[in-house]
Amino acid sequence: MSPSPAATAPLDVLRGALRDAAHAVGGDSQAGERATLERPKRDDFGDYATNVAMLLAPVVGGPPRDIAGKVGEELQTRLGPLLERVDVAGPGFLNLFLSDDWHAAALAHVLAAGDAFGGGEAPVAEKINVEFVSANPTGPLHVGHARNAAYGDALSRIFAFHGHEVTREYYVNDFGSQIARLAESVRARAKGEDVAEDGYQGDYVQAIADAIPDAATMDLDALGQRSVALMTERIRDSLHFFGVNFDVWFSERSLHEPKPALAGQDPVTHAFERLAELDQTYAHEDALWLRSSAHGDDKDRVLVRSTGDHTYFASDIAYMLDKRERGFDRLMYVLGADHHGYKARMAAAYESLGGDVASLDLLIMQFVHLVERGERSSMSKRSGEFVTLDDLVAEIGVDAARWFLLQRSHDTTIDLDLDLAREESSDNPVYYVQYAHARIASVLDKAGADRVAAALAAERAAVAMHPAEKALVKKLLMFPAEIAEAATRRAPHRVSSYALELAQTFTAFYRDCQVVGAEGDGVEDLRIALCVASQTTIATALRLLGVSTPDTM
């Protein structure tokens, strides 16, 4: 074994050899760079397979299988004993069979990286603002917000792990007519009266009224602010309990107040001036319009109504400018499904402010349906009230809630099966993954801390590896690519899929390979090392999802 086996990532060794081999056969073509290097579905197709010969065929001419043969020879020369053999298969695939040494070096690489394994690989580190949830502080968070919260938070964790700098931000809509409506609703409750038809009807309104001693008499505007503050506190607490914490709670109201940094100007006026400088607005019929149709929107949008009132969109654009002036490389908005009609105007606003839409992400979360006893309850209880985030967490717990909300792509509607999520058994994927983690803790505990430390420090003997051991090593090696994929495609569900697969692969290894007391020179060392690497990687994946990693269950 070489002195520093962990220095180069094992897949990079393969990738490099593949590139060189492709150049040797195909000259300057980019085939080596574009070639796939993937785990094939069947074991007899090798540890890894590549389509490089099919890509070279049009360049060098000749049958892909002949070209594959040449590339195979080049690969064998470059990889030497790391490559056991290479087969030409099917239309011209190359199937690579890696040696035990290569697998051992790969495991050493994973262990050396520790809990940083899979992270820090972003090619360019960006400063990213992720705005999510941003529910109106006029009522408690419901299940749709829960999905938004779980998603935005997991995405933020993945970005940070991948190497970006992330700011989590919540936009508090504490301004405008809905606040007055909330104040009136609270006042009615405080007086023991019925809430108006278009007011807020929920029980939480009474709770707010009860918490404000002079709610029946105080100034309506002050009551609105007091109510919003209480509601925002409650939302903050719910999210905190759900494992979601924001760096910035941004007040919409503050956009309409003078700001010292703007020489006493308010941000909305500041934005209007900026847009005027850029010739992005015009006056028409006593209103102020944004030329949004020049940037892909269906029509121009009003910023100031003929009545002189600002539209909600005016606040949005002022807020967007504020973010831009704070120096983010990327603005990300996690929006509810009912907001997708706003995508075009938000993108137009961004361009109007001089932004490049390539650095703007508008992500639409699809709906959540709750299913119980096979019936859709479509987010609402018998009473007509929404099922809240707090209800959901009380019902199935934080871990199951986050897992079930995160295991599917954000752009598909999900049916959340409460009965399954409540199940504390192997039927429930989140328990299955946590169980693997706890089981490893138990095995390592049985081996003893000293034994584990010795195993990790040991010179790795030349052990003939079991297929289940090799499969586990290769599954571990997939993690960095999964993280990169999850980050670039804004897809936290890739991480939960991977966590489940890794837990399954570990469990197969555990079934086939006795760890503690394993016979043979260096075998127990190897298996303990595999346990440690697996536990660390499972823990990292669960941490990115915001799911706990219990040592005992």
Partner RNA sequence: GCGCCCGUAGCUCAGUGGAUAGAGUGCUUGCCUCCGGAGCAAGAAGUCGCAGGUUCGAAUCCUGCCGGGCGCGCCA
Q: How many chain residues touch RNA (CB under 7 A)?
A: 91
* Using rule CB under 7 A, residue 511 touches RNA: yes
Contact 496, 407 (CB under 8 A): yes
* Using rule CB under 7 A, residue 492 touches RNA: no
Segments in 219-331 forming alpha helices (H): 220-241, 267-277, 312-325
* Using rule CB under 7 A, residue 250 touches RNA: no
Contact 68, 88 (CB under 8 A): yes
Per-residue x/- track, 378-417, RNA (CB under 7 A): -----------------------------xxx-xxxxx-x
Select the span of 104-112, 162-170, 214-222, 307-315 touching RNA (CB under 7 A): 307-315
Among the listed residues 193, 210, 257, 309, the single contact to RNA using CB under 7 A: 309
Select the span of 51-59, 111-119, 140-148, 325-333 touching RNA (CB under 7 A): 51-59
* Using rule CB under 7 A, residue 247 touches RNA: no
For RNA, give the closer residue by CB, 6 or 89: 89
Among the listed residues 420, 454, 458, 484, the single contact to RNA using CB under 7 A: 420
* Using rule CB under 7 A, residue 273 touches RNA: no
* Using rule CB under 7 A, residue 199 touches RNA: no
Q: Tell which positions 431-450 bind RNA, by CB under 7 A.
A: 431-432, 435, 438-439, 441-443, 446
439 phi/psi in degrees, rounded to 5 = -65, -40
* Using rule CB under 7 A, residue 468 touches RNA: no
* Using rule CB under 7 A, residue 41 touches RNA: yes
* Using rule CB under 7 A, residue 189 touches RNA: no
- Shortest distance, position 444 Cβ to RNA, whole Å: 9
Contact 94, 69 (CB under 8 A): no
Q: Which two tokens stand for residue 174?
A: 């504490």
248-251 and 165-172: which strand pairing?
Answer: parallel
For RNA, give the closer residue by CB, 209 or 400: 400
Task: Sheet with 248-251: list strands edge to edge.
Answer: 248-251, 165-172, 127-131, 330-336, 360-365
DSSP-assigned beta bridge partners for residue 49: 38, 95
* Using rule CB under 7 A, residue 185 touches RNA: no
Select the span of 35-43, 110-118, 124-132, 217-225 touching RNA (CB under 7 A): 35-43
d(CA 322, CA 342): 19
* Using rule CB under 7 A, residue 474 touches RNA: no
DSSP states along 152-192? HHHHHHHHHHHT-EEEEEEEE--SSHHHHHHHHHHHHHHTT
Q: Tell which positions 141-180 bind RNA, by CB under 7 A.
A: 173, 175-178
Segments in 357-492 forming alpha helices (H): 389-396, 398-406, 418-422, 429-447, 449-457, 467-477, 479-488
Judged on CB neighbours under 10 Å (0-12, 13-18, 19+), 489 is exposed
For RNA, give the closer residue by CB, 167 or 254: 254
Among the listed residues 513, 523, 529, 533, the single contact to RNA using CB under 7 A: 513
d(CA 173, CA 424): 39
Q: Tell which positions 95-134 bind RNA, by CB under 7 A.
A: 95
